[in-house]
Structure 1
Amino acid sequence: MKKSISVLYPPERDLKAWAQRNQQLEVPSRWPYGLEALSKPPADVEARNLRVATLPQKLAARALPVRLRAQRAVAGDIGVTWDENAARLMVAAEPRRHMYSGVIWLPDSVIADPHGPHQRICAALRQMRKLWVLSRAQLEPLRRVLGKGCPPIEFVKFGVDKEFFAAQPYPERPLVLSIGGDRHRDPATLFRALQGVHERFPFAEIIVQSASPLPAPPGVEKVKHVSHRQLRELYARASVVAVATANNLHASGMTVSLEAMATGRPIVMTRTPGIEDYINDGVSGFLTPQGDHKALAAAVARLLEQPQLAHQMGLAGQREVADGMTTAHLARRISEIIDL
């Protein structure tokens, strides 16, 4: 039987503009996260924006028992959302007969604030047919958070567009690059580490993309924003990509790591439970202890001192992405979860 599937994105995500930018080679993948790869016969798959829930819809979503959800379902068999915030909106505004979602932030949010306002998101997630997370470290914490009524949860490896972030020749001039600024980044440790790198390698260029209010140390250029196209060019120029994070389960820095690995660049990164699913320590890069700026600096310095080792690690990471961490692999796993 032909299935009707809606991949539902937040209202603020301009899908038309994204597709146009993809055609102009400005962003990876035709749909965000490469979920256009879910489109395969005989399923009828669409991507569109969720509507903002009205007050009556919000009240109905809270009041109706789960057994009555199908009676409220809008046209379409299956609804898929990327994260828990979109899942909550789907339940309130556009419920489907069968709903599936990823979960990114909730386990860490509950750890940070056990008594915070998590109930509504938890209630929405209990209405999903299945959930997925992007690190194994999230599985048990999420099951505990959702408790009774928790749907099946599966681990799905994230993936990147290996055509957009294509392999590039290893550069001759040294550049240390750091990208990103989600809530679990650790700019203080990063800047202390890069200060040490600059003191030891004053000839190396160091660029950090970060919105942190902390000032960059001498020898480090800080930029607030780079486009996807600029990011791709920076990866091509980079000798090593370094990321410092605080403790987290959702694999903060995962996207940057895989994009850099796809380009053929080694990674130096903070060891966290989540990131161990993506970085093969000693093979595609180095993992260092949390908050240890000296260890982070030493790992970066080792790769600057040994460009052949850096190149070999970059090639290893490139192979790992190609073999199992592309958007095609990601979509295939989600397809299995939603029984396509």
Structure 2
Amino acid sequence: MSSAPRSEAALAWGFPAEQSVSAWELRHSVGDVPSAWQYGLDGLRRFARVEVIDLPAPGRLSRLRARTGLGPRPVDGMAFTWDENAAFRMQVTRPRRRFASGVIWLTDMVQRGHVPTRLIDVLRGAEDLWVLSRGQVDPLRDLVGGNGPRVTAVPFGIDADFFAARPFPDRPRILSIGNDRDRDPQTLFRAFELVHAQRPEVELIVQTSASGAPDGVRVVDRMSHRELRELYATASVVATATRPNLHVSGMTVTLEALATGRPVVNTDTPGMTQYVAEGETGHLVPVGDAEALADRLVELVDDRDRAERMGVAGRAAVEATFTTAHMCAHLAAILLPEH
């Protein structure tokens, strides 16, 4: 992808300093990670010049000064952040007069009874907010109010060159990847226990920090992106079980699996239907329903041809809609509407 922008427009990207964009670039240069920047945001350089701003973690004093209006003066120019926590950092430590941000966890936090009023106040000062799940749009609009920033659903994208289509394996293997706060290892383990009882020849692999994996399930440690890419290639289906959530937990794994050409079986949560076409690229099952999850997994390992066809459809869906290039085009329309 060319880094030459289409216009002279400029953007500032605020990102946590400790996550180091420059270090990620070095890892990308040797093929260890997808995309030149985290989340594929280097794709925005097709549309504008992008300056990276390292955001330090705000201390107690800097938070207090910002709250009382004694913090740094806001800087002109449009800035954006990937998520709401980075937006808070930026507006406390390096504030901008104009900014936009993604929002990931806030709607679930509020739904579960935790209302971070200071964070919400900061987000109300944004020009635009985007979410990666349609299920978050209305709840976020309610939080920021009718006179608040615009809220837009943007489809997430992954690096479909790094996670390339791979030949379908001969040996049946079911894979599950992920440790985020909304995963449901109990339902996953119960489903895998049922699969093992019915199809003991199927290999079951889980990457998780949760304990309690049943007999017949191999648990693997945290892996690099390169190692994960190779593991996807060995799977015949990828499963993700989650608790109720609005932000589409498991979305990244889902798209990486589809890009590899593997069907998925996921928990049906708001927003997941954006990423999984029922019966075409995978299956969606009710929250907490281990039996339904197991049944769908068994169906796919029993019908290799159908699983392979669904994997091909999944790869096509990623190429058509869910690449980092598509995502950055949507973000550019938000951040650079005049261009």
- TM-score class, shorter: over 0.9
Asked if 1:17 is matched to 2:23, the reply is: yes
User: Which residue pairs with 2:3 in the alignment?
Assistant: none
Equivalence for 2:66: 61
Letter in 2 for 1:83: D
TM-score (structure 1 length as normaliser): 0.93
2:325 is matched with 328
Is 2:123 the partner of 1:125? yes
**Alignment correspondent of 1:172:** 170
The farther-off stretch of 52-61 and 132-141 is 52-61
Gaps of 5+ in 2: 1-6
The match for 2:226 is 229
> CA-to-partner distance for each residue in 1:60-117, whole Å, 9 max, x for gaps?
432349xxx9x9223x51111010000001111111231010000000100111xx35
CA contact (8 A) 1:15 1:48 kept: no
User: Structure 1 residues 157-166 or 141-150, which shifts more?
Assistant: 141-150
**More moved, 143-152 vs 88-97:** 143-152
Matched ranges for 1:1-340 at <5 A = 2-40=8-46, 43-55=48-60, 57-64=62-69, 72-74=73-75, 77-113=77-113, 116-147=114-145, 149-212=147-210, 214-339=211-336, 340=339
CA distance in 1, matches of 2:245, 2:11: 32
- Name the SS for the 1:97 alignment partner: strand
**Is the CA contact (8 Å cut-off) linking 1:245 and 1:252 kept in structure 2?**
yes
CA distance in 1, matches of 2:214, 2:59: 48
Aligned length: 331
> Aligned equivalents of 2:277 and 2:267: distance in 1?
12
Q: Distance in 2 between matches of 1:56 and 1:290?
A: 43
Between the aligned partners of 2:326 and 2:69, the Cα distance in structure 1 is 37
Aligned residue type for 1:270 = T
Return the alpha-carbon distance in structure 2 between the equivalents of residues 218 and 94 of structure 1. 52
Q: Please tell me whether the aligned partners of residues 79 and 95 of structure 1 are also in contact (alpha carbons under 8 angstroms).
A: no
Q: Distance in 1 between matches of 2:163 and 2:53?
A: 25
Deviation at 1:20, TM superposition (A): 1.0
**Which amino acid counterpart does residue 72 of structure 1 have in structure 2?**
R
SS of residue paired to 2:19:
coil
1:156-176 alpha-carbon deviations (Å, 9 max, x no partner): 000000000000011101110
C-alpha distance in 2 between matches for 1:22 and 1:60: 38
SS in 2 for 1:281: coil
Displaced runs of 4 or more, over 4 A: none
Deviations 1:186-242 (A, max 9, x none): 000000000111111111111100111x22111101123111111000111100000
Percent sequence identity is 46
**What is the TM-score when the length of structure 2 is the normalising length?**
0.94
Structure 1 gaps of 5+ residues are none
> C-alpha separation between the residues in 1 aligned to 2:193 and 2:213?
9
Matching residue's letter, 1:241 = V
CA contact (8 A) 1:3 1:78 kept: no
What residue number does 2:4 align with?
A: none
User: Which of 139-148 and 88-97 deviates more?
Assistant: 139-148
For each residue in 1:279-337, what CA deviation from the matched residue of structure 2 results, as whole angstroms up to 9, or x when unmatched?
10111000011111010000000000000000010011100000010000111110000
